[in-house]
């Protein structure tokens, strides 16, 4: 299979972290100064604030990160945006809920059960999983099915590096993932908002695709709880709900897993869930999106802009039918 890189990006184009931090400080200061001059202090809603750079001082830092040619050079969303606006129904239905309530999640100790069609099933702990491959920073666009988007500096390594270790057999056509179920740690699970546990799945070629990331951190730190600590998927060409959080179970299977949102409403949410501006959600448009931090909507790109890399996975498929 031919894996193309993003045509407009080279390794050297990815700005080093120190520089982008300074750039954002500069932008935040310049932005608020300009706005202040223009409008006599019209407030921070129209700019980023320097405080938006604050991370969690208690969180474990992740260093020696490889840069990735797959990273975008678009403006990052702030740490604050990324950690206070989350769909993670295990902690409540409001997007502010996970940021408020996810402190009850205990990402350590944590282990992941691997089972199904593979030679090396077993239980693997997160400390070991973190070392299976060199950590990379991947700056990806995230497009939610609700038509908003962000740019997030993830940390992790290719999911393929993780899955290969367990030596999937030829019967492994799909891989299924499950989130933790524990209402004491995830208070939203006391309500049957969704069928717990949250389930997601990928076709094997999607799972092994180099863009598919096993997410272990963001903004230079281990994952905040509300973003799916300690281990999650990041599949940037699919709607956000495919990128399952706080994974405890990985199963290699022969048949297509029934993912949670498809169970919930199969007329609105499918298995593939590729970002596709030509196939609208039955109730709202997918042709455009609101990038957080911007006021006007922007056009949504086919496969969220990753078409050069992934379109070949779906050659010959009717994407209206397999939405």
Partner 1 sequence: MTQTQWRRRVFKPVAWLACLTPAAVLVYNGFQGELGANPVETITNTTGIWTLRLIVVGLAITPLRWLSGLNQLINYRRLVGLFAFFYGTLHFLTYFILDHQLEFGGLWDDVVKRPYITAGFTAFVLMIPLAVTSTTGWIRRMGGRKWNLLHRLIYVTALAAVLHYFWKVKLDATYPIYYGIGVAILLGFRVWRNYRPAAASH
Residues 313, 272: Cα–Cα separation, whole Å: 11
Using rule CB under 8 A, residue 80 touches partner 1: yes
Of the residues 7, 10, 57, 296, which one makes contact with partner 1 according to CB under 8 A? 296
| Token pair listed for 32 | 């608020």
Contact between 81 and partner 1 per CB under 8 A: yes
Q: Are 271 and 201 in contact (CB under 8 A)?
A: yes
Q: Verify binding: residue 34, partner 1, rule CB under 8 A.
A: no
- Smallest distance, Å, CB 19 to partner 1? 24
**What sign for the dihedral angle of Cα 258, 226, 184, 232?**
positive
Of the two residues 33 and 288, which places its CB atom closer to partner 1 in the complex? 288
278 touches partner 1 (CB under 8 A): no
Q: Is 284 near partner 1 (CB under 8 A)?
A: yes
Burial of 316 from C-beta contacts in 10 A (0-12 / 13-18 / 19+): exposed
Q: How many CB atoms lie within 10 A of CB 251?
A: 20
CB of 110 to partner 1, least distance (A): 27
Decide the pairing of beta strands 136-143 and 148-158. Answer: antiparallel
Q: How far apart are the C-alpha atoms of 252 and 320, rounded to whole Å?
A: 27
Our CA angle for 111, 117, 212, nearest 5°, is 65
- Is 54 a binder of partner 1 (CB under 8 A)? no
**Cβ closest to partner 1, residue 69 vs residue 287:** 287
- Write out the binding residues for partner 1, residues 177-206 only, by CB under 8 A: 193-194
Q: Which stretch binds partner 1 (CB under 8 A): 80-88, 103-111, 112-120, 303-311?
A: 80-88
According to CB under 8 A, which one of 30, 34, 36, 42 is a site residue for partner 1?
A: 42
Q: Which is nearer to partner 1, 44 or 277 (CB)?
A: 44
Q: How far is the CB of 154 from partner 1 (least distance, A)?
A: 17
Residue keyed to tokens 């693997």: 124
Site stretch for partner 1 (CB under 8 A), options 176-184, 219-227, 292-300, 310-318:
292-300
Helix (H, G, I), strand (E, B) or coil at 248: strand
The least CB distance from residue 49 to partner 1, in Å, is 6
The answer to whether 56 contacts partner 1 (rule: CB under 8 A) is no
Helix spans in the chain (H)? 17-39, 79-84, 97-101, 126-129, 159-164, 204-207, 260-264, 307-310
Of 21, 204, 292, 319, the one binding partner 1 by CB under 8 A:
292
CA distance 251 to 253: 6
Q: How many Cβ atoms from other residues are within 10 Å of residue 45's Cβ?
A: 8
Quick one: which of 68, 71, 72, 77 contacts partner 1 (CB under 8 A)? 77
By CB under 8 A, tell whether 45 contacts partner 1.
yes
Number of residues counted as binding partner 1 (CB under 8 A): 29
Closest CA to 249 of 113, 117, 145: 113
Q: Are 251 and 90 in contact (CB under 8 A)?
A: no
Interaction site with partner 1 (CB under 8 A): 41-45, 49, 77, 80-81, 84-85, 89, 93, 95-96, 146, 148, 193-194, 264, 283-285, 288, 290, 292, 295-297
């Amino acid at each position: 299979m031919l894996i193309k890189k993003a045509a407009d990006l080279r390794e050297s184009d990815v700005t080093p972290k120190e520089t982008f931090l300074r750039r954002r400080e500069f932008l935040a200061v310049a932005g608020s100064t300009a706005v202040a001059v223009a409008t006599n202090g019209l407030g921070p809603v129209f700019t980023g604030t320097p405080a938006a750079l604050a991370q969690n001082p208690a969180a474990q830092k992740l260093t020696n990160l490889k840069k990735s040619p797959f990273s975008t050079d678009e403006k990052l969303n702030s740490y604050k945006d990324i950690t206070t606006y989350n769909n993670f129904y295990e902690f409540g239905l409001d997007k502010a809920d996970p940021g408020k309530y996810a402190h009850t999640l205990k990402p350590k100790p944590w282990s992941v059960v691997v089972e199904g069609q593979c030679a090396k099933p077993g239980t693997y702990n997160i400390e070991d999983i973190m070392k299976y491959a060199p950590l990379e920073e991947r700056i990806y666009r995230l497009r939610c099915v609700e038509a908003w988007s962000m740019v997030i500096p993830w940390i992790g390594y290719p999911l393929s590096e993780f899955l290969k270790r367990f030596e999937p057999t030829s019967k492994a056509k799909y891989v299924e993932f499950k989130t933790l179920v524990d209402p004491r740690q995830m208070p939203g699970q006391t309500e049957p908002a969704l069928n717990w546990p949250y389930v997601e799945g990928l076709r094997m070629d999607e799972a092994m695709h180099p863009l598919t990331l096993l997410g272990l951190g963001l903004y230079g730190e281990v994952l905040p709880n509300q973003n799916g600590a300690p281990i999650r998927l990041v599949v940037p060409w699919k709607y956000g709900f495919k990128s399952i959080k706080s994974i405890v179970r990985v199963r290699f299977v022969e048949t297509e897993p029934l993912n949670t949102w498809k169970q919930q409403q199969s007329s609105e949410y499918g298995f593939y869930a590729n970002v596709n501006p030509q196939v609208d959600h039955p109730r709202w448009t997918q042709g455009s999106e609101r990038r957080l931090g911007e006021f006007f909507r922007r056009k949504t790109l086919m496969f969220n802009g990753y078409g050069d890399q992934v379109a070949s996975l779906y050659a010959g498929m009717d994407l209206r039918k397999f939405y």
